[in-house]
Protein backbone atom coordinates (compact mmCIF):
# COMPACT_ATOMS: atom_id res chain seq x y z
CA UNK A 1 0.00 0.00 0.00
CA UNK A 2 1.05 3.63 -0.53
CA UNK A 3 1.24 4.11 3.23
CA UNK A 4 4.12 1.58 3.31
CA UNK A 5 6.34 3.47 0.84
CA UNK A 6 9.10 5.83 1.84
CA UNK A 7 9.36 8.54 -0.81
CA UNK A 8 12.50 10.51 -1.55
CA UNK A 9 13.28 14.00 -2.82
CA UNK A 10 12.02 15.10 -6.23
CA UNK A 11 13.49 18.04 -8.12
CA UNK A 12 10.89 19.64 -10.39
CA UNK A 13 11.88 22.21 -12.98
CA UNK A 14 9.55 23.78 -15.51
CA UNK A 15 7.02 26.44 -16.34
CA UNK A 16 5.29 27.91 -13.28
CA UNK A 17 1.66 28.96 -13.55
CA UNK A 18 -0.93 30.45 -11.24
CA UNK A 19 -4.40 28.99 -11.81
CA UNK A 20 -7.19 31.39 -10.84
CA UNK A 21 -10.86 30.46 -10.52
CA UNK A 22 -13.80 32.86 -10.48
CA UNK A 23 -16.89 31.01 -9.25
CA UNK A 24 -20.45 32.18 -9.58
CA UNK A 25 -23.85 31.48 -11.09
CA UNK A 26 -25.55 32.41 -14.33
CA UNK A 27 -29.28 32.99 -14.51
CA UNK A 28 -29.62 35.54 -17.31
CA UNK A 29 -28.18 36.73 -20.61
CA UNK A 30 -26.72 40.23 -20.95
CA UNK A 31 -28.93 42.75 -22.74
CA UNK A 32 -25.76 44.28 -24.20
CA UNK A 33 -24.65 41.15 -26.07
CA UNK A 34 -25.67 37.47 -26.26
CA UNK A 35 -23.37 36.45 -23.41
CA UNK A 36 -24.11 35.03 -19.95
CA UNK A 37 -24.00 37.31 -16.92
CA UNK A 38 -22.08 35.73 -14.02
CA UNK A 39 -23.02 36.69 -10.48
CA UNK A 40 -19.61 36.35 -8.84
CA UNK A 41 -19.52 34.38 -5.60
CA UNK A 42 -15.85 33.72 -4.85
CA UNK A 43 -12.31 33.80 -6.23
CA UNK A 44 -9.58 31.22 -5.57
CA UNK A 45 -6.02 30.53 -6.70
CA UNK A 46 -3.91 27.37 -6.82
CA UNK A 47 -0.43 26.57 -8.17
CA UNK A 48 -0.40 25.35 -11.77
CA UNK A 49 2.02 23.91 -14.32
CA UNK A 50 5.22 22.56 -12.78
CA UNK A 51 4.01 23.87 -9.42
CA UNK A 52 0.97 21.60 -9.62
CA UNK A 53 3.33 18.67 -10.19
CA UNK A 54 5.17 19.79 -7.06
CA UNK A 55 1.97 20.03 -5.02
CA UNK A 56 0.92 16.54 -6.12
CA UNK A 57 4.30 15.02 -5.30
CA UNK A 58 4.28 16.70 -1.89
CA UNK A 59 0.73 15.50 -1.20
CA UNK A 60 1.94 11.94 -1.70
CA UNK A 61 4.74 12.42 0.81
CA UNK A 62 7.75 13.52 -1.26
CA UNK A 63 10.11 16.31 -0.34
CA UNK A 64 10.18 18.63 -3.34
CA UNK A 65 12.54 21.27 -4.67
CA UNK A 66 10.90 23.55 -7.23
CA UNK A 67 12.86 25.46 -9.88
CA UNK A 68 11.18 27.90 -12.25
CA UNK A 69 10.69 31.49 -13.24
CA UNK A 70 8.34 34.14 -11.83
CA UNK A 71 8.07 37.90 -12.25
CA UNK A 72 8.07 40.64 -9.63
CA UNK A 73 4.33 41.16 -9.74
CA UNK A 74 1.23 40.52 -7.68
CA UNK A 75 0.72 37.13 -9.38
CA UNK A 76 4.22 36.08 -8.25
CA UNK A 77 3.43 37.03 -4.65
CA UNK A 78 0.16 35.08 -4.80
CA UNK A 79 1.99 32.15 -6.37
CA UNK A 80 4.50 32.01 -3.52
CA UNK A 81 1.68 32.27 -0.99
CA UNK A 82 -0.26 29.34 -2.47
CA UNK A 83 2.78 27.06 -2.78
CA UNK A 84 4.01 27.98 0.71
CA UNK A 85 0.92 26.33 2.20
CA UNK A 86 2.88 23.09 1.68
CA UNK A 87 5.92 23.09 3.95
CA UNK A 88 7.66 20.20 2.13
CA UNK A 89 8.22 22.25 -1.05
CA UNK A 90 11.51 24.18 -1.16
CA UNK A 91 11.15 27.50 -3.03
CA UNK A 92 14.65 28.83 -2.41
CA UNK A 93 15.73 28.00 -5.98
CA UNK A 94 13.01 29.99 -7.77
CA UNK A 95 14.36 32.54 -10.25
CA UNK A 96 12.74 35.97 -10.26
CA UNK A 97 12.94 38.34 -13.23
CA UNK A 98 11.46 41.87 -13.09
CA UNK A 99 10.81 41.79 -16.84
CA UNK A 100 8.92 38.49 -16.68
CA UNK A 101 5.13 38.30 -16.35
CA UNK A 102 4.06 35.51 -14.00
CA UNK A 103 1.85 33.25 -16.11
CA UNK A 104 -1.79 33.06 -15.00
CA UNK A 105 -4.78 31.15 -16.28
CA UNK A 106 -8.11 32.48 -15.04
CA UNK A 107 -11.11 30.22 -15.43
CA UNK A 108 -14.64 31.57 -15.02
CA UNK A 109 -17.13 28.94 -13.86
CA UNK A 110 -20.85 28.77 -13.32
CA UNK A 111 -21.33 25.84 -10.99
CA UNK A 112 -19.10 23.14 -12.49
CA UNK A 113 -19.32 24.51 -16.02
CA UNK A 114 -16.37 26.51 -17.33
CA UNK A 115 -17.56 29.51 -19.33
CA UNK A 116 -14.27 31.05 -20.44
CA UNK A 117 -10.54 30.96 -19.71
CA UNK A 118 -8.37 34.10 -19.70
CA UNK A 119 -4.60 33.64 -20.04
CA UNK A 120 -1.91 36.16 -19.16
CA UNK A 121 1.67 35.34 -20.11
CA UNK A 122 4.84 37.13 -21.25
CA UNK A 123 5.23 38.11 -24.88
CA UNK A 124 9.03 37.75 -24.77
CA UNK A 125 11.33 34.74 -24.65
CA UNK A 126 13.44 34.00 -21.62
CA UNK A 127 16.64 36.10 -22.04
CA UNK A 128 20.04 34.31 -22.04
CA UNK A 129 21.08 35.71 -18.67
CA UNK A 130 17.91 34.37 -17.07
CA UNK A 131 18.43 30.97 -18.72
CA UNK A 132 21.88 30.84 -17.13
CA UNK A 133 20.34 31.60 -13.74
CA UNK A 134 17.81 28.78 -14.27
CA UNK A 135 20.60 26.33 -15.10
CA UNK A 136 22.58 27.38 -12.03
CA UNK A 137 19.51 27.03 -9.80
CA UNK A 138 18.70 23.56 -11.19
CA UNK A 139 22.28 22.29 -10.81
CA UNK A 140 22.41 23.58 -7.25
CA UNK A 141 19.11 21.87 -6.47
CA UNK A 142 20.25 18.49 -7.88
CA UNK A 143 22.12 17.67 -4.68
CA UNK A 144 20.15 15.08 -2.74
CA UNK A 145 17.51 14.56 -5.46
CA UNK A 146 16.29 11.04 -6.20
CA UNK A 147 14.29 11.91 -9.34
CA UNK A 148 14.19 14.93 -11.65
CA UNK A 149 10.97 16.01 -13.36
CA UNK A 150 11.01 18.40 -16.31
CA UNK A 151 7.48 19.81 -16.61
CA UNK A 152 7.39 21.42 -20.05
CA UNK A 153 4.39 23.67 -20.73
CA UNK A 154 6.17 25.28 -23.70
CA UNK A 155 6.29 28.66 -21.95
CA UNK A 156 10.04 29.18 -22.29
CA UNK A 157 11.68 27.88 -19.11
CA UNK A 158 12.79 24.53 -20.55
CA UNK A 159 14.86 25.82 -23.46
CA UNK A 160 17.33 23.53 -25.22
CA UNK A 161 20.17 24.94 -23.12
CA UNK A 162 18.36 24.38 -19.81
CA UNK A 163 17.15 20.89 -20.75
CA UNK A 164 20.56 19.72 -21.93
CA UNK A 165 22.34 21.07 -18.86
CA UNK A 166 19.85 19.52 -16.41
CA UNK A 167 19.63 16.12 -18.14
CA UNK A 168 23.41 15.89 -18.58
CA UNK A 169 24.08 16.70 -14.93
CA UNK A 170 21.40 14.26 -13.73
CA UNK A 171 22.85 11.48 -15.88
CA UNK A 172 26.31 12.12 -14.47
CA UNK A 173 24.92 11.69 -10.96
CA UNK A 174 22.79 8.66 -11.85
CA UNK A 175 19.50 10.47 -11.19
CA UNK A 176 16.59 9.43 -13.46
CA UNK A 177 14.82 12.18 -15.42
CA UNK A 178 11.09 12.15 -16.23
CA UNK A 179 9.76 14.61 -18.82
CA UNK A 180 6.20 15.74 -19.43
CA UNK A 181 6.77 16.92 -23.02
CA UNK A 182 5.23 19.62 -25.18
CA UNK A 183 7.64 19.65 -28.14
CA UNK A 184 7.16 18.37 -31.67
CA UNK A 185 10.84 17.32 -31.68
CA UNK A 186 11.49 14.90 -28.82
CA UNK A 187 15.24 14.77 -29.43
CA UNK A 188 15.58 17.73 -27.04
CA UNK A 189 14.78 15.25 -24.22
CA UNK A 190 17.55 12.79 -25.16
CA UNK A 191 19.06 11.37 -21.99
CA UNK A 192 15.78 11.32 -20.05
CA UNK A 193 14.68 7.94 -18.76
CA UNK A 194 10.96 8.49 -19.41
CA UNK A 195 8.62 10.83 -21.26
CA UNK A 196 4.86 10.96 -20.64
CA UNK A 197 3.09 12.36 -23.73
CA UNK A 198 -0.65 12.17 -24.19
CA UNK A 199 -2.00 10.82 -27.47
CA UNK A 200 -2.16 14.22 -29.17
CA UNK A 201 1.38 15.11 -28.13
CA UNK A 202 2.69 11.74 -29.30
CA UNK A 203 0.97 12.08 -32.67
CA UNK A 204 2.26 15.63 -33.22
CA UNK A 205 5.81 14.60 -32.32
CA UNK A 206 5.88 11.54 -34.58
CA UNK A 207 3.37 12.37 -37.32
CA UNK A 208 1.73 8.99 -36.76
CA UNK A 209 -1.85 7.93 -35.88
CA UNK A 210 -2.48 6.86 -32.27
CA UNK A 211 -6.01 5.45 -32.30
CA UNK A 212 -5.31 1.76 -31.59
CA UNK A 213 -2.90 -0.25 -29.46
CA UNK A 214 -0.90 -1.15 -32.56
CA UNK A 215 -0.72 2.48 -33.69
CA UNK A 216 0.31 3.54 -30.18
CA UNK A 217 3.13 0.99 -30.28
CA UNK A 218 4.53 2.22 -33.60
CA UNK A 219 4.25 5.87 -32.55
CA UNK A 220 5.96 5.13 -29.22
CA UNK A 221 8.76 3.30 -31.07
CA UNK A 222 9.19 6.38 -33.26
CA UNK A 223 9.35 8.53 -30.13
CA UNK A 224 11.98 6.25 -28.64
CA UNK A 225 14.12 6.67 -31.75
CA UNK A 226 14.04 10.43 -31.19
CA UNK A 227 15.10 10.53 -27.53
CA UNK A 228 16.18 7.00 -26.55
CA UNK A 229 14.17 6.29 -23.37
CA UNK A 230 10.92 4.70 -22.18
CA UNK A 231 7.59 6.12 -23.32
CA UNK A 232 4.43 6.21 -21.23
CA UNK A 233 1.40 7.35 -23.24
CA UNK A 234 -1.59 8.69 -21.33
CA UNK A 235 -4.80 7.75 -23.18
CA UNK A 236 -7.62 9.42 -21.22
CA UNK A 237 -10.44 6.92 -20.57
CA UNK A 238 -8.36 4.11 -22.15
CA UNK A 239 -5.75 4.32 -19.41
CA UNK A 240 -2.01 4.29 -20.13
CA UNK A 241 0.47 2.37 -22.27
CA UNK A 242 4.13 1.91 -21.35
CA UNK A 243 6.70 0.98 -24.01
CA UNK A 244 10.04 0.18 -22.42
CA UNK A 245 13.38 0.26 -24.18
CA UNK A 246 13.51 -3.54 -24.29
CA UNK A 247 10.34 -3.55 -26.41
CA UNK A 248 7.97 -4.67 -23.67
CA UNK A 249 4.58 -2.97 -23.87
CA UNK A 250 2.25 -2.83 -20.87
CA UNK A 251 -1.29 -1.43 -20.62
CA UNK A 252 -2.96 -0.10 -17.47
CA UNK A 253 -6.71 0.46 -17.55
CA UNK A 254 -7.98 3.48 -15.68
CA UNK A 255 -10.60 2.77 -12.99
CA UNK A 256 -14.08 3.99 -13.86
CA UNK A 257 -14.74 7.43 -12.44
CA UNK A 258 -16.99 10.42 -12.94
CA UNK A 259 -15.05 13.07 -14.84
CA UNK A 260 -15.59 16.68 -13.76
CA UNK A 261 -12.37 18.33 -14.94
CA UNK A 262 -9.19 17.08 -16.59
CA UNK A 263 -7.20 20.23 -15.69
CA UNK A 264 -3.82 19.15 -14.35
CA UNK A 265 -4.47 15.39 -14.65
CA UNK A 266 -1.18 14.99 -16.51
CA UNK A 267 0.58 16.76 -13.64
CA UNK A 268 -0.84 14.23 -11.21
CA UNK A 269 0.34 11.36 -13.40
CA UNK A 270 3.93 12.57 -13.71
CA UNK A 271 4.08 13.47 -10.00
CA UNK A 272 2.86 10.00 -9.01
CA UNK A 273 5.33 8.32 -11.36
CA UNK A 274 8.19 10.38 -9.94
CA UNK A 275 7.10 9.68 -6.37
CA UNK A 276 6.98 5.94 -6.98
CA UNK A 277 10.35 5.99 -8.73
CA UNK A 278 11.84 7.86 -5.76
CA UNK A 279 10.67 4.94 -3.61
CA UNK A 280 12.41 2.43 -5.88
CA UNK A 281 9.30 1.12 -7.63
CA UNK A 282 9.53 -0.29 -11.15
CA UNK A 283 7.83 1.62 -13.97
CA UNK A 284 5.03 -0.90 -14.56
CA UNK A 285 3.91 -0.75 -10.94
CA UNK A 286 4.29 3.03 -10.92
CA UNK A 287 2.08 3.26 -14.02
CA UNK A 288 -0.73 1.23 -12.44
CA UNK A 289 -0.66 3.42 -9.33
CA UNK A 290 -0.59 6.57 -11.47
CA UNK A 291 -3.75 5.48 -13.33
CA UNK A 292 -5.57 5.32 -10.02
CA UNK A 293 -4.29 8.75 -9.03
CA UNK A 294 -5.51 10.17 -12.35
CA UNK A 295 -8.94 8.62 -11.85
CA UNK A 296 -9.23 10.42 -8.51
CA UNK A 297 -8.09 13.83 -9.69
CA UNK A 298 -10.41 14.05 -12.73
CA UNK A 299 -13.30 13.70 -10.31
CA UNK A 300 -12.32 17.00 -8.71
CA UNK A 301 -13.05 20.47 -10.01
CA UNK A 302 -10.12 22.50 -11.24
CA UNK A 303 -6.41 22.03 -10.71
CA UNK A 304 -6.16 19.65 -7.77
CA UNK A 305 -3.95 17.16 -5.94
CA UNK A 306 -4.37 13.59 -4.76
CA UNK A 307 -3.38 12.93 -1.17
CA UNK A 308 -1.53 9.89 0.08
CA UNK A 309 -4.64 8.87 2.06
CA UNK A 310 -6.93 9.19 -0.98
CA UNK A 311 -4.66 7.10 -3.18
CA UNK A 312 -4.19 4.49 -0.46
CA UNK A 313 -7.96 4.19 -0.07
CA UNK A 314 -8.48 3.89 -3.84
CA UNK A 315 -5.84 1.18 -4.16
CA UNK A 316 -7.22 -0.70 -1.19
CA UNK A 317 -10.68 -0.56 -2.75
CA UNK A 318 -9.25 -1.95 -6.00
CA UNK A 319 -7.46 -4.73 -4.15
CA UNK A 320 -10.63 -5.55 -2.24
CA UNK A 321 -12.52 -5.60 -5.53
CA UNK A 322 -9.95 -7.85 -7.21
CA UNK A 323 -9.95 -10.19 -4.19
CA UNK A 324 -13.67 -10.79 -3.91
CA UNK A 325 -13.26 -14.41 -2.76
CA UNK A 326 -13.12 -14.32 1.02
CA UNK A 327 -13.21 -16.57 4.04
CA UNK A 328 -16.12 -16.22 6.44
CA UNK A 329 -14.00 -14.22 8.89
CA UNK A 330 -12.81 -11.90 6.12
CA UNK A 331 -16.36 -11.47 4.88
CA UNK A 332 -17.55 -10.51 8.35
CA UNK A 333 -14.86 -7.81 8.58
CA UNK A 334 -15.63 -6.44 5.14
CA UNK A 335 -19.37 -6.35 5.78
CA UNK A 336 -18.80 -4.54 9.07
CA UNK A 337 -16.76 -1.90 7.18
CA UNK A 338 -19.52 -1.56 4.56
CA UNK A 339 -22.13 -1.05 7.24
CA UNK A 340 -20.09 1.73 8.83
CA UNK A 341 -20.71 3.62 5.58
CA UNK A 342 -24.42 2.84 5.60
CA UNK A 343 -24.41 0.08 2.98
CA UNK A 344 -27.31 -2.40 2.79
CA UNK A 345 -25.99 -5.94 2.35
CA UNK A 346 -27.76 -8.40 0.03
CA UNK A 347 -27.20 -12.17 0.19
CA UNK A 348 -27.98 -14.96 -2.23
CA UNK A 349 -26.61 -18.47 -2.62
CA UNK A 350 -26.42 -21.50 -4.88
CA UNK A 351 -24.14 -24.04 -6.57
CA UNK A 352 -23.72 -21.92 -9.73
CA UNK A 353 -22.00 -24.82 -11.46
CA UNK A 354 -22.43 -23.70 -15.07
CA UNK A 355 -23.27 -20.00 -15.13
CA UNK A 356 -26.28 -19.40 -17.40
CA UNK A 357 -28.83 -16.61 -18.10
CA UNK A 358 -31.00 -17.74 -15.21
CA UNK A 359 -28.12 -17.23 -12.80
CA UNK A 360 -27.32 -13.82 -14.29
CA UNK A 361 -30.95 -12.73 -13.92
CA UNK A 362 -30.91 -13.76 -10.25
CA UNK A 363 -27.63 -11.93 -9.57
CA UNK A 364 -28.81 -8.76 -11.29
CA UNK A 365 -32.12 -8.80 -9.44
CA UNK A 366 -30.34 -9.36 -6.12
CA UNK A 367 -27.88 -6.51 -6.73
CA UNK A 368 -30.72 -4.07 -7.29
CA UNK A 369 -32.09 -4.72 -3.80
CA UNK A 370 -29.21 -3.10 -1.91
CA UNK A 371 -25.72 -1.65 -2.03
CA UNK A 372 -23.40 -4.66 -1.66
CA UNK A 373 -24.04 -8.20 -2.92
CA UNK A 374 -22.60 -11.28 -1.22
CA UNK A 375 -22.89 -14.61 -3.07
CA UNK A 376 -22.43 -17.83 -1.10
CA UNK A 377 -21.36 -20.91 -3.09
CA UNK A 378 -21.76 -24.53 -2.07
CA UNK A 379 -18.36 -26.17 -1.74
CA UNK A 380 -17.51 -29.15 -3.96
CA UNK A 381 -18.36 -31.57 -1.16
CA UNK A 382 -21.68 -29.82 -0.54
CA UNK A 383 -22.57 -29.96 -4.25
CA UNK A 384 -21.79 -33.69 -4.43
CA UNK A 385 -24.09 -34.38 -1.50
CA UNK A 386 -26.88 -32.38 -3.14
CA UNK A 387 -26.43 -33.23 -6.82
CA UNK A 388 -24.58 -36.56 -6.92
CA UNK A 389 -21.04 -37.75 -7.48
CA UNK A 390 -20.87 -36.43 -11.06
CA UNK A 391 -21.22 -32.86 -9.87
CA UNK A 392 -19.90 -30.22 -9.72
CA UNK A 393 -18.63 -29.89 -13.28
CA UNK A 394 -16.35 -27.04 -12.15
CA UNK A 395 -14.50 -26.99 -8.84
CA UNK A 396 -15.31 -24.42 -6.18
CA UNK A 397 -12.37 -22.13 -6.98
CA UNK A 398 -13.34 -21.98 -10.66
CA UNK A 399 -16.98 -21.27 -9.79
CA UNK A 400 -15.99 -18.60 -7.27
CA UNK A 401 -13.62 -16.95 -9.75
CA UNK A 402 -16.29 -16.73 -12.45
CA UNK A 403 -18.86 -15.43 -9.97
CA UNK A 404 -16.43 -12.87 -8.56
CA UNK A 405 -15.78 -11.51 -12.06
CA UNK A 406 -19.39 -10.35 -12.41
CA UNK A 407 -19.78 -6.59 -12.02
CA UNK A 408 -22.74 -6.91 -9.65
CA UNK A 409 -20.96 -9.22 -7.18
CA UNK A 410 -18.99 -7.60 -4.34
CA UNK A 411 -18.03 -10.67 -2.30
CA UNK A 412 -17.99 -14.46 -2.72
CA UNK A 413 -17.86 -16.92 0.18
CA UNK A 414 -17.81 -20.72 0.04
CA UNK A 415 -19.75 -22.83 2.56
CA UNK A 416 -19.33 -26.55 3.22
CA UNK A 417 -22.67 -27.30 4.87
CA UNK A 418 -25.76 -28.57 3.05
CA UNK A 419 -27.45 -25.19 3.54
CA UNK A 420 -26.13 -21.62 3.91
CA UNK A 421 -27.82 -21.12 7.30
CA UNK A 422 -24.59 -20.84 9.31
CA UNK A 423 -23.16 -18.38 6.79
CA UNK A 424 -26.33 -16.29 6.85
CA UNK A 425 -26.34 -16.15 10.64
CA UNK A 426 -22.66 -15.16 10.68
CA UNK A 427 -23.00 -12.40 8.09
CA UNK A 428 -26.48 -11.14 9.04
CA UNK A 429 -27.46 -9.71 5.63
CA UNK A 430 -30.16 -7.06 5.36
CA UNK A 431 -31.83 -8.68 2.35
CA UNK A 432 -31.97 -12.37 1.42
CA UNK A 433 -32.75 -13.13 -2.23
CA UNK A 434 -33.82 -16.48 -3.72
CA UNK A 435 -35.57 -17.50 -6.90
CA UNK A 436 -39.33 -17.31 -7.19
CA UNK A 437 -39.47 -21.12 -7.50
CA UNK A 438 -39.37 -21.02 -3.67
CA UNK A 439 -42.03 -19.73 -1.36
CA UNK A 440 -40.93 -17.37 1.38
CA UNK A 441 -41.39 -19.94 4.13
CA UNK A 442 -39.12 -22.37 2.21
CA UNK A 443 -36.15 -20.00 2.02
CA UNK A 444 -33.37 -21.22 4.31
CA UNK A 445 -32.41 -18.39 6.67
CA UNK A 446 -35.50 -16.35 5.86
CA UNK A 447 -36.87 -16.42 9.40
CA UNK A 448 -33.48 -15.50 10.83
CA UNK A 449 -33.04 -12.55 8.46
CA UNK A 450 -36.48 -11.25 9.41
CA UNK A 451 -35.64 -11.65 13.11
CA UNK A 452 -32.97 -8.93 12.89
CA UNK A 453 -35.13 -6.62 10.81
CA UNK A 454 -34.21 -7.80 7.32
CA UNK A 455 -36.43 -9.00 4.51
CA UNK A 456 -36.73 -11.84 2.01
CA UNK A 457 -37.09 -11.18 -1.73
CA UNK A 458 -38.17 -13.76 -4.31
CA UNK A 459 -36.72 -12.91 -7.72
CA UNK A 460 -38.31 -13.94 -11.00
CA UNK A 461 -36.31 -16.59 -12.86
CA UNK A 462 -35.64 -17.19 -16.54
CA UNK A 463 -37.82 -20.19 -17.37
CA UNK A 464 -36.24 -23.34 -18.76
CA UNK A 465 -32.75 -22.50 -17.55
CA UNK A 466 -30.90 -24.71 -15.09
CA UNK A 467 -27.54 -26.42 -14.89
CA UNK A 468 -29.26 -29.80 -14.54
CA UNK A 469 -31.15 -29.32 -17.82
CA UNK A 470 -27.96 -28.17 -19.57
CA UNK A 471 -26.11 -31.28 -18.35
CA UNK A 472 -29.00 -33.49 -19.46
CA UNK A 473 -28.94 -32.00 -22.98
CA UNK A 474 -25.17 -32.42 -23.15
CA UNK A 475 -25.47 -36.08 -22.22
CA UNK A 476 -28.15 -36.65 -24.88
CA UNK A 477 -26.06 -34.88 -27.50
CA UNK A 478 -22.96 -36.88 -26.55
CA UNK A 479 -24.91 -40.13 -26.63
CA UNK A 480 -26.22 -39.38 -30.12
CA UNK A 481 -22.80 -38.37 -31.35
CA UNK A 482 -21.18 -41.61 -30.17
CA UNK A 483 -24.02 -43.93 -31.26
CA UNK A 484 -22.84 -46.39 -33.98
CA UNK A 485 -24.18 -45.66 -37.47
CA UNK A 486 -26.92 -48.08 -38.57
CA UNK A 487 -25.76 -50.92 -40.83
CA UNK A 488 -27.19 -50.62 -44.32
CA UNK A 489 -29.40 -53.57 -45.43
CA UNK A 490 -28.79 -52.86 -49.12
CA UNK A 491 -26.28 -55.07 -50.97
CA UNK A 492 -23.08 -53.46 -52.16
- For the annotated catalytic residues, the residue numbers are 267
- How far, in Å, are 271, 362, 374, 392 from residue 355 at the CA level? 44, 11, 16, 12
- How far, in Å, are 389, 478, 479 from residue 483 at the CA level? 25, 9, 6
Q: In terms of DSSP H, where are the helices of 110-247?
A: 128-141, 160-172, 199-206, 213-227
Measure the CA–CA gap between 403 and 82, rounded to whole angstroms. 49
Task: Return binding residues.
Answer: 198-201
Task: Return binding residues for ATP.
Answer: 198-201
Asked if 352 and 377 touch (Cβ cutoff 8 Å), the reply is: yes
Apex 356 CA angle, 351 and 362, nearest 5: 70
Asked if 437 and 461 touch (Cβ cutoff 8 Å), the reply is: yes
**CA 409 to mean position of chain CA atoms:** 20
Measure the CA–CA gap between 150 and 192, rounded to whole angstroms. 9
Measure the CA–CA gap between 458 and 308, rounded to whole angstroms. 44
Q: At what angle do helices 50-60 and 308-322 cross, to 10 degrees?
A: 70
Asked if 456 and 479 touch (Cβ cutoff 8 Å), the reply is: no
Measure the CA–CA gap between 63 and 444, rounded to whole angstroms. 58
Measure the CA–CA gap between 195 and 244, rounded to whole angstroms. 11
Q: Nearest to residue 363, comparing CAs of 272, 425, 263, 434?
A: 434
Apex 126 CA angle, 124 and 130, nearest 5: 140
Cα Rg for the chain, rounded, in angstroms?
Answer: 30
CA atoms within 13 A on the CB side of 303: 25
Cis geometry, peptide bond prior to residue 392 (ω within 30 degrees of 0)? yes
Q: In terms of DSSP H, where are the helices of 4-69?
A: 50-60
Asked if 433 and 373 touch (Cβ cutoff 8 Å), the reply is: no
Amino acid sequence: MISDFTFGRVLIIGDLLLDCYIHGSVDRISPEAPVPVLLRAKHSTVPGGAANVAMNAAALGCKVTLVGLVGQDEAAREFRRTVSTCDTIDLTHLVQDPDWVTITKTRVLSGRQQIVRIDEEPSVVVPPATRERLVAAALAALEGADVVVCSDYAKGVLSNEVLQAVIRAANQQGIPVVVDPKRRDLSAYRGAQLITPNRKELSLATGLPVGTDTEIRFAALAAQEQFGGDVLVTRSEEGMTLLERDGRMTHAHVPQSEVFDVSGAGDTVVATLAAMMSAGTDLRTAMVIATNAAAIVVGKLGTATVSRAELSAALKSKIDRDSVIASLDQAQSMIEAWRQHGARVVFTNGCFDLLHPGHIALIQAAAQEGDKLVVALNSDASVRRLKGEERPLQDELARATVMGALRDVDLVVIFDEDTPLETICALKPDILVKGADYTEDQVVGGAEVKSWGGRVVLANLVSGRSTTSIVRKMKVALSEATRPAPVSSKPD
